[in-house]
A = this chain, B = another copy of it.
């Protein structure tokens, strides 16, 4: 039965800054089991990554010796093993040939997927983890066009025939949090359910006035101060201003942008979907567990699947 396509063949680990997900993957690339943990790389005291990994996936490894692929911020300067960045264009074969093996005490070999970098006019951009998700998307017949990956640092990625050609990072998510928590804009905000009208109003202003973010943000204070919007709408209006500014900038020089593939099923992705609709841009959704498909494709390209 060792040729059974449904038997375990790979463990994929997506280890980011604030969380970790691991997948038990079959010979034919299906997810057999999955776990998630809040132990992102910044939440591992003493950088004792091996102990964390053993506790989380040790039961999978105990049954049989499986290759482990790990992607994400775990390969950054603040992670476990710092790897160099691969350059564009980049596909599963390119990432497979750049894998960095590391044997841990238990004898298991971890293959680290390196991140990717590109330069525009001498200014570097980097990703770690998203490249593996994009490679996974190409296993789902989502192999072309623009991918948008919302998050703390959102990524806009250009893909052609399953190859990553170009990408740009937007600091939108982290800037939203800093403005809400650490400027006067947060002081008039009151939490409530998502207010889609306030969000859309922010998006619309940002798209009309796309270079004027530093001014438009001041209205996040004056609108509730003057009673023009409720305090419960202020955070969503600001979110709309920021995501709208991102969408306007990222699509500015792209008259033929086509359908955008939004990665993820989070509340944040829902906001991007609304912003793209407001900009008259079509979008579709890719599941956020495409990272496991990416681990599988890279492992296949590296000859690690028996």
Contacts and interface: CB of A to CB of B under 8 A. Distances in A.
A222 B125 contact: yes
Contacts of A228: 122-124
A213 B211 CA distance: 8
Interface residues of A, number: 45
A214 to B, nearest CB: 4
A139 interface: no
Contacts of A218: 125, 153, 169-171
A223 B183 CA distance: 26
Interface string A171-188: 110110011011111000
Contact of A211 (B185, B211, B225, B226): B211
A143 interface: no
A245 interface: yes
A124 B225 contact: yes
| Most B CB within 10 A of own CB, among A168, A184, A214, A223 | A214
Interface in A193-226: 205, 210-219, 222-223, 225-226
Contacts of A131: none
Query: How many copies of this chain are found per oligomer?
Result: 2
| Most B CB within 10 A of own CB, among A123, A222, A252 | A123
B170 A249 contact: no
Contacts of A182: 178, 181-182
A215 B169 contact: yes
Contacts of A169: 215, 218
Contacts of A236: none
B178 A211 contact: no
A305 interface: no
A250 B218 CA distance: 14
Contact of A183 (B125, B175, B205): B175
Q: Would you list the 9 A-B pairs with minimal beta carbon distance, nearest first?
A: A124-B222, A210-B211, A170-B214, A211-B211, A169-B218, A123-B219, A178-B182, A182-B182, A178-B178
Interface of A: 77, 117, 122-126, 153, 168-172, 174-175, 178-179, 181-185, 205, 210-219, 222-223, 225-226, 228, 242, 245-246, 248-250, 252
